[in-house]
Chains A and B, each alone.
Chain A
Amino acid sequence: MNALLTSAVAGLTAGGTYALLGVCAVFTYRLVAVVNFTGAAIGTAGTFVLIALYEAGFPLWPSVLAGIAAGTVVGVAIGFIMTRWFGEASASTKAAVTVALLVGIIAIGLRLTGGQHPHNMPELFPGSAFRMAGVEVTIASVLTIGLAALFTILADLFLNNTKVGLNLRALADRPMAAELLGIRVQMLSLLVWGMTGAFTTFALMIIAPQRSPNFMTLSLLVVPALAAALVGLFRSFWRTLAGGIGLGLVEGMASSVDSVSQYRSAIPFLVVLAVLLWSQREARWDEAR
């Protein structure tokens, strides 16, 4: 029992990561109606700008700002492609386009950053926050979970209680109608892409030092993040938050049980499958009627 608790706490770091990126994915989906597979890759691009500047000897915090700016630019660029050419496309087409973009970004990113060679990733928030069940919970993990929770609250308030939030929801549901109502669709969409770009970049800067520091593995963090988003059915921020943290805890516990441990990386897929089956259980009946 104790070992299980220890490994669950050990999974908390991963859980915070999934939750934070998952919440960002839900945010993008609800505001611009895109299941965004490039989310983590955008953040990774910004993070590698930070690494490049830091390795070149620039001071840390200005490099961080430059990295966030770069992430914002990449986010806006991808947003431009999505709104300009695929604004009216179906959700599945848009998702497929982002998958294609992800593959492209990873290929270019690996080439530019020297492939599998590791980099010297500066730790923005080094050190340990507290010790629990024999595991050091790092400041970075506390921060990721905290940020995920904060983002959840802010996003909820923003979408439900502000005029801009309302406009954005209109934009996601009926872009054409929103445009006819005089909402500046293109402008607002790019704003959302830029904001999520900046935010995921900052998130990945915190996460990256605890992860394998290469372009591909960081970009592929989007898979468990989307699994978390699916737990919230791409609508609920709170469920996504819980889903992400839960996913991390389950993964952590799985690593302490030898017979399950080797299937550990399949857990996000199992979660996706279970959620899909559960959420579609009535759809089948509706069709039959």
Chain B
Amino acid sequence: MQWKSSLVAVAFAGLGFAATAATASAAGPTCKDGTIKVGAVSTITGPADFSEVPKATQAAFDAVNAAGGINGCKIDYTIADDKADPAVAAQAARDLIDNKEAVALVGSGSLLDCAVNSATYSRKKILSVQGLGVDAACFSSPNVAPVNVGPYTLSTAMAYYATNQLKSEKLCAFFIIIGGTQEAYKKAIENWEKISGKTIHLIDLTLPFQGDLTPYVIKARDAGCDAVLTNQVEPQVVQLIKTVDAQKITGINWLFLAPGYTEQVASALADTKQPIYVGTEWEPFTEKSSPANAQWAADMQKAGRPLTAFSQGGYLAAQMFVKVVSSIDGEVTRESVTKALHEMQPITNPLSGSPYVFGTAKVHSPMQATKVMKLEKGAWTVETPDWVVLPQAK
């Protein structure tokens, strides 16, 4: 399976290369007043802080501008804070589109941008290369294509990893359902069932966001689960494993999604002996010396930005956008950028396991690969040096 997908990746890479090579000889992109205006709607203040995502996009654009811009056009980037408030998010998007005259949205990372604004984006015929797709709408809208795998595809991928490589026979899934994510998670498990030909042993969609987890870990143990997949975020990951340890449960593999992959989780769980796995959105950011991270790490360090997973997303979105805009022959407008994204060939980047493509599909989730990390004595270690690429459902 692995070699097949890497062949595909190589083929895609060739295509991407050919595409850029072809445009190099053409006139290239032009711009009216010397700038290309780009925006992002991100949650910066409020219950969560995703500012690392657009700030990394900013750093990547700054580097491009410092090197002379795209064919002489400087990128003028505006980050709008949606404060996790739907009214503010809607206002921010309108301001970027109507007043700032943005040609595209790049590097947004928000709790609700997609849910609130995807209809606006469709109406205004503007596309968003989302740096970090969080809510379900980011993966179910024609005008948004995130550069991250996202919690739903990642759930499928981790379940696939559990059965394929951990040889799990009784996989159980416990999900926290916030807002309208229930269908998306159910679908993620259904996809896994189609791919693996197995059925889920137990699925529980009632995991509480706060509250004692003892009844749930007992439920998993008594059901005989040999692997448990959950979509919990940082503090709950720690709480769950502490509860598991308090109950002296052994013999279950614990699988988490990308929000569990932080250095704080690793150090808070330094003492546990439980087998803990997380799926990453991109090349593991803790592998500072990996060749795939080299360019990103160098650019971030030059800009004085921290090396976090979020910053990989923002950086990747910027790379994709710059490549696509470079291929435009003529003036860079909202129409020409939209057209270029719709017609683009897949582009590879070492930060991600799948090539990125926008295209004209009704829904987008181009990223279908993860790397799995395992927690060993308070540090994350790479469990799968090769990408775990999700096969297409049969």
Contact = CB atoms under 8 A, between A and B. Distances in A.
A220 interface: yes
Given A116-B233, A210-B242, A265 B211 contact: yes
Contact of A118 (B212, B219, B234, B247): B234
Q: Which 8 A-B pairs have the closest CB atoms?
A: A14-B212, A255-B215, A261-B206, A10-B215, A217-B210, A118-B238, A262-B206, A10-B214
Given A13-B212, A117-B234, A211-B212, 5 more contacts: A7-B215, A118-B264, A120-B270, A213-B238, A256-B215
Interface residues of B, number: 35
Interface string A230-261: 00000000000000000010011001101001
B184 to A, nearest CB: 16
B211 to A, nearest CB: 6
Interface in A33-63: none
Contacts of B264: 114, 117-119
A223 B177 CA distance: 21
A121 B264 CA distance: 12
Contacts of B216: 255
Contacts of B238: 118, 212-213
B222 interface: yes
27 contacts: A10-B215, A13-B212, A14-B212, A116-B234, A116-B235, A117-B235, A118-B234, A118-B264, A119-B264, A119-B268, A120-B268, A134-B218, A135-B218, A135-B247, A210-B239, A210-B242, A210-B246, A211-B210, A213-B238, A248-B212, A255-B219, A256-B215, A262-B205, A264-B206, A265-B208, A265-B210, A265-B211
B2 interface: no
Contacts of A262: 177, 205-206
A214 interface: yes
B237 interface: yes
A264 B237 contact: no
A211 B246 CA distance: 12
Interface string B196-212: 00000000111011111
Given A119-B268, A255-B206, A265-B208, A128 B235 contact: no
A251 to B, nearest CB: 7
Contacts, number: 106
A83 interface: no
Nearest to B238: A118
Contacts of B211: 14, 251, 264-265
A217 B235 contact: yes
Contacts of B246: 128, 136, 138, 210
B208 A211 contact: no
A87 B49 CA distance: 39
A154 interface: no
A209 B242 contact: yes
Contacts of A136: 246-248
Nearest to A110: B47
A169 B234 CA distance: 45
Interface in A1-36: 3, 6-7, 10-11, 13-14, 17
Chain A interface size, under 10 / 10 to 19 / 20 to 34 / 35 or more? 35 or more
Interface in A109-147: 114-121, 128, 134-136, 138
Interface in B99-124: none
Nearest to B49: A115
B24 interface: no
B265 A118 contact: yes
Contacts of B71: none
A210 B217 CA distance: 13
Nearest to A11: B215
Contacts of A255: 206, 215-216, 219
A127 to B, nearest CB: 9
A6 B216 CA distance: 11
Contacts of A209: 242
A134 B268 contact: no
A252 B177 CA distance: 19
A13 B246 CA distance: 11
B262 interface: yes
B222 A6 contact: yes
Contacts of B236: 212
A11 B268 CA distance: 24
B186 to A, nearest CB: 13
Given A135-B247, A220-B210, A118 B237 contact: yes
B243 A210 contact: yes
Contacts of A210: 212, 214, 239, 242-243, 246
Interface in B270-296: 270
B349 interface: no
Contacts of A248: 212
B361 interface: no
B48 interface: yes
Contacts of B248: 128, 136
Most chain A CB inside 10 Å of its own CB: which residue of B205, B206, B216, B267:
B206
A192 B54 CA distance: 49
Contacts of B218: 6-7, 10, 134-135
A13 B239 CA distance: 14
Most chain B CB inside 10 Å of its own CB: which residue of A118, A135, A251, A255:
A118
Contact of B222 (A3, A14, A128, A138): A3
Given A118-B238, A212-B238, A217-B235, A135 B49 contact: no
A135 B212 contact: no
B235 A118 contact: yes
A93 B288 CA distance: 55
Contacts of B212: 10-11, 13-14, 17, 210-211, 248, 251-252
B69 to A, nearest CB: 36
Interface in A242-289: 248, 251-252, 255-256, 258, 261-262, 264-265
A211 B239 contact: yes
A14 B239 CA distance: 13
A63 to B, nearest CB: 17
Given A14-B211, A262-B205, A116 B239 contact: no
